[in-house]
Amino acid sequence: MAMQGFTGPLVRENDYCWRIPKDYKPGMRVDGLIYADDVLIERVRSDPAPEQVANVAFLPGIQKASLAMPDIHWGYGFCIGGVCATDPAEGGVISPGGVGYDINCGVRLVRSNLSSRDVRPVLPKLVEQLYANVPTGAGRGGKYKFDRAKLRQLMELGPAFLRDRDLATDADIEFTEAHGCLSGARPDWVSERALDRGFDQCGSLGSGNHFLEVQVVDEVFDVPAAEAMGLHEDMVCVMIHSGSRGLGYQVCDDALRQLRGVPEKYGIDLPDRQLVCAPVESPEGEHYLGAMRAAANFAWCNRQLLMWQAREVFATVFGRSWESLQMGLVYDVAHNIAKLEEHQVDGHAKPVWVHRKGATRAFPPGHRELPACYAKLGQPVLIPGDMGRASWVLIGQDESMLQTFGSACHGAGRLMSRHAAVRASKGRRIDQELRDRGVIARARSWKGLAEEQPDAYKNVDEVVEVVHKAGLAKKVARMRPIGVIKG
């Protein structure tokens, strides 16, 4: 049965923001704010996700507003594209639904000194070699296997664990959000079932919307910013989108089960049981956070090993080391995570727990967490689109800190459910349609390509335009895909 669209109030705040007043539902503590233009807001109305924006506004300790980015669509508990900050000093809670099942799903971008002219003649071979060497598909593991003791070390240290094994460099770690490691991880709080699922999955792509893409910088909009990132027109890059695989999924599943009766224990009334939560400063909240941080560190290691394997393939295909191909990491950002950050609320700086569920960190110039070479520029913001159109690099702006707790969108956002996309693909050859667009695609199944066909997504250019014009992040460069592997 199809879900109904949103019938509640959406009040225009400005050209790129709409408000759900907190009197819409008794129990809302703050307004809901959705970032969209006149075109996108009509698609938002047809989706029940705004109801989830209103429901998140019930969470104890929520600050300013319940927020949603222009890639908003229906999710578990929180909408995809949802942002929420809670203050632990005001009884603020942590909610697994505000992080998601794929803990620290995220994106990294790798540049090179190759041009499209260098790559086009060998592109079929390159894509085939990537598909052969990089593990893809649901439940599939790869060549990197870690016993219990090493897996717990990896979850505690993040990519620093891999650096000590010559699978990461200092620069890789420097250009990873949070240096790829959330302190306070408690691998001992990760269940045996999660460890079983994760022991061979670090360095594997997974399925669904996860991908490894060979891309070409199509257009540069901010030359100084692009130069600071080492990007220029016609450069070939690699974009990787993956997360914490079965391990992270199990950590979330375990937490949802463990927290089932916790809201009642603390007198928390919720409009949706998928918003199950615990006060940050409670044993139950601390337990989830310790396990979530461990899974997040696992995810950063996963993307590091995926990048390492991609570098090895490029080196093989081009007969040169990845260092000579200058395959350096531009940046890595998470978009399913909760982090303790300092933000201004009512004129005062205070620590809050920022949930980003399908939303990307977008810190502005001068933020202390940025690598030195990006300090005056702003944080690179990586926005993948769909495998037939484009992806984007932006930089965080001051308005993001004022409006959205330093956040921007994380992608294009789905228009079709996976089932609807498969139905719409019957009788078609999605791989051939992509080839007609100049994209070579490899996947484990016809269904995998059908679910992720370009028509299943909003136009990422339209979504990015809202983020750009709202002042959250500034456009730097647009990349077009030429080769993609998926699960």
Q: What is the pLDDT of residues 297-347, one digit of tens each?
A: 999 999 999 999 999 999 999 999 999 999 999 999 999 999 999 999 999
* Residue 1 pLDDT > 50: no
pLDDT of residue 4: 85
Region 108-135: what's the mean pLDDT?
97
Mean pLDDT across the stretch 246-264? 97
Q: Model pTM?
A: 0.97
What lies within 8 Å, CB to CB, of 184 at 6+ separation is: 289, 290, 293
pLDDT tens across 400-435, in order?
999 999 999 999 999 888 899 999 988 899 989 999
pLDDT exceeding 70 applies to what percent of the chain? 99
DSSP, res 367:
-
* Residue 134: band (very low, low, confident or very high) from pLDDT cuts 50, 70, 90: very high
Q: What mean pLDDT comes out for the span 15-30?
A: 98
Specify the 3-state DSSP secondary structure of 112: coil
Least confident of 25-29, 133-137, 359-363: 133-137
Task: State residue 312 phi and psi, 5-degree precision.
Answer: -60, -40
Residue range 177-192, pLDDT digits in tens: 999 999 999 999 999 9
Q: Is 92 left (phi over 0), alpha (psi -120 to 50) or beta?
A: beta
pLDDT mean over 133-145? 89
pLDDT at 80 over 80: yes
Residues recognised as catalytic: 410
Average per-residue pLDDT in the chain?
Answer: 96
pLDDT higher than 50, residue 96: yes
**pLDDT (average), residues 135-149:** 89
Q: How far is CA 370 from CA 307, 364, 373, in A?
A: 21, 9, 8
The confidence score (pLDDT) of residue 384 equals 96
- Please tell me the distance from the alpha carbon of residue 305 to that of residue 135, in angstroms, as a whole number: 11
Angle of helix 283-318 relative to helix 245-258, nearest 10 degrees? 170
Q: What is the DSSP letter of 470?
A: T
The C-alpha atoms of residue 413 and residue 80 are separated, in whole angstroms, by 8
Show Cβ contacts of residue 245 under 8 Å, excluding neighbours closer than 6 positions.
102, 197, 198, 201, 202, 204, 206, 298, 299, 302
Q: Give 201-253 pLDDT, tens digit per residue.
A: 999 999 889 999 999 999 999 999 999 999 999 999 999 999 999 999 999 99
b/e for 105-129, b at 16 or more Cβ within 10 A?
A: bbbbbbbbebebeebeeebeebbbb
The CATH architecture annotation of domain 11-95+103-486 reads Alpha-Beta Complex (3.90)
Whether 57 has a pLDDT exceeding 50, the answer reads yes
Confidence of residue 32 (pLDDT cuts 50, 70, 90): very high
Percent of the chain whose predicted confidence (pLDDT) is above 90: 91
Task: Tell me what pLDDT residue 138 has.
Answer: 83
Across the range 55-68, mean pLDDT stands at 98
Least confidently predicted of 133-137, 138-142, 270-274, 433-437: 138-142
C-beta of residue 101 within 8 angstroms of C-beta of residue 30 = no
**Helix then strand then coil, % of the chain, to nearest 5:** 35, 25, 40
Reading the block at residue 230, the tokens are 């080492």
At 480 the pLDDT is 97
- Structure confidence by residue, pLDDT tens digits, 358-399: 999 999 999 999 999 999 999 999 999 998 899 999 999 999
Please count the other Cβ atoms lying within 10 Å of the Cβ belonging to residue 342. Answer: 10
> What is residue 2's predicted lDDT score, i.e. its pLDDT?
53
- 487 pLDDT band, cuts 50/70/90, is confident
The larger pLDDT score, comparing residue 348 to residue 447, is at 348
Q: What local confidence, expressed as pLDDT, does residue 141 receive?
A: 81
pLDDT for residue 104 is more than 90:
yes
pLDDT of residue 310: 98
* DSSP string covering 44-91: HHTSSHHHHHHHHTTSTTB-SEEEEEEEEE--SSSPEEEEEEE-GGGT
Tokens of 282: 């409670």
Helices (H), 143-282: 148-157, 159-163, 170-174, 192-198, 223-229, 245-258, 262-265
